[in-house]
Amino acid sequence: MSIKKSTANDKSINSPDGYGPILRPIAREAHSLRQQIFELVRARGKIARSTIARTLDVSPGSVTALTADLIIDGFLHEVDQGIEREASRGRPPVALELVPKALHVVGIKLSDNNHTAVLTDFGGNVIASTEQKTNANKKTRNELLNETEGLINKLCKIAQISPNLISAIGVGISGIVDYETGVVAWSPLLHGIDIPLGSFFSAHFNTQVCIDNDANILTLAQLWFGAGRALNNFAVVTIENGVGMGFVSDNQLFRGAHGMGLELGHTKVQLDGALCRCGQRGCLEAYLADYAIAREASTVLGMSSDKPQNLPDSLKELYKKAAAGDQITCTIFQRAGRYLAVALSNIIHLFDPKLIILSGQPMRYNFLYNEGIQTEMRELALFHSRNETKIEIQSWEEMIWARGATALALGELTRTVVIQG
């Protein structure tokens, strides 16, 4: 079980070679040939018709006919540069690529303290990004709608485009979300339960709005734009205001039957244990999330646990104390790290992923993955196997979450506009 630390930012997650999952042949079989061709062009960035035919093992005539339709519909166009010639003589073959200006999408991450948003074109290129400070109090759906509209208006002003040009919106929010219906069963950001946020947003913006759990959109950022594009099996664990998990199997994001799949933060690690913000006790999140660590250290820092707006500054102070060798704060992080070790070993036992990516603000510090924590994780897992699970630490900038939310919108447009249209 090897652990690697790296950093990632908006630039590193953008690839010049297209975007979207790089599907294996077996994963393409359930798709129509039109969809297979479109997704192959999207994934490669630029690709010749002859290469499409060879890759998909179909006739050149079928490729020519279907790509002609996609060109007429305005989703693909021909380009002359950027790929190697296939013969020793003659001009380089004509390549196909997505038309960037065909459609525009917005991705938004709604969070406790700072909302983020990005605007991209159909080529997956980021055109504009923005953020908006908010408070950690629970909000009504109208209040969240107003904040979301403010973000979209900022993006359009920066990009100098009309909001009417936005074809779809992707939104990530913490909590239990039914992606198919757009219903938020519960979220620490929202008053009430079973809020039909997707249909409410769609009616207001008069466009398609897809809503998913925030850990899922971070996983989609990897699957569509990052290192996970070429992996058919990996997990992402997020540790910030809450603890979340996303899992990809056979190049597909796993959500479960009711949107409750992989709620790692609310798995129980101690019966009748610490109080979680979901209202139950003993959840992993209640020992590992930002607010849980700060709550345990509240007497050391003199911070009241009922003032979440002070949380970022308080955590910075806590990290400084631990780095300076303060025994009490070191013990707090060691305890949280042990719970993380338990969680990682359970993920390995349940899913056997090729890669686990740990992400979130606390992962900028080594207190949650030092050698002692790694040793305990190995002892808890069935470590003596021929194949190790790789674990990578990534400290991502906040815009990456919103970037993942654009994948929700781009995927929806692929299904409803490009393929069915």
Structure tokens at 408: 């929700």
Q: What is the pLDDT of residues 303-343, one digit of tens each?
A: 555 555 567 777 778 888 888 888 888 888 888 888 998 99
11 vs 231: which has the higher pLDDT: 231
CATH topology of domain 229-396: Nucleotidyltransferase; domain 5 (3.30.420)
Name which residue leads in pLDDT, 215 or 323.
215
Say yes or no to pLDDT of 92 above 90: no
pLDDT the model gives residue 299 = 61
Alpha helices in 228-351 (DSSP H): 285-288, 290-296, 298-301, 311-323, 327-351
Give the range among 26-30, 137-141, 244-248, 325-329 with minimum mean pLDDT. Answer: 26-30
The percentage of residues in the chain with a pLDDT greater than 70, rounded to a whole number, is: 84
Lowest mean pLDDT among 25-29, 327-331, 336-340, 374-378: 25-29
Q: How is the chain split into domains, by residue range?
A: 13-99, 102-220+400-419, 229-396
CA distance 302 to 125: 45
Which of 22-26, 34-38, 54-58, 390-394 bottoms out in mean pLDDT, i.e. has the lowest?
Answer: 22-26
Same fold, 13-99 and 102-220+400-419: no
Specify the fold of 102-220+400-419: Nucleotidyltransferase; domain 5 (3.30.420)
Confidence of residue 126 (pLDDT cuts 50, 70, 90): very high
Say if residue 174's pLDDT is above 50.
yes
Interacting residues of 46 by C-beta distance below 8 A, sequence separation 6+: 18, 79, 82, 83, 95, 96, 97
Mean pLDDT of the chain: 86
pLDDT at 301: 59
Q: What is the rounded distance in angstroms from the CA atom of residue 230 to the CA atom of residue 13?
A: 13
- pLDDT at 184 (0 to 100): 96
Do residues 208 and 182 lie in contact, with contact meaning Cβ atoms separated by under 8 Å?
no
pLDDT tier, 10 (very low <50, low <70, confident <90, very high otherwise): very low
What string of H, E and C letters represents the secondary structure of 326-355?
A: CHHHHHHHHHHHHHHHHHHHHHHHHHCCCE
Tell me what percent of the residues of the chain surpass a pLDDT of 90: 56
The architecture CATH gives domain 13-99? Orthogonal Bundle (1.10)
For the segment 15-19, the average pLDDT, to the nearest whole number, is 73
Instruction: With beta carbons less than 8 A apart as the criterion, state whether 73 and 421 touch.
Output: yes
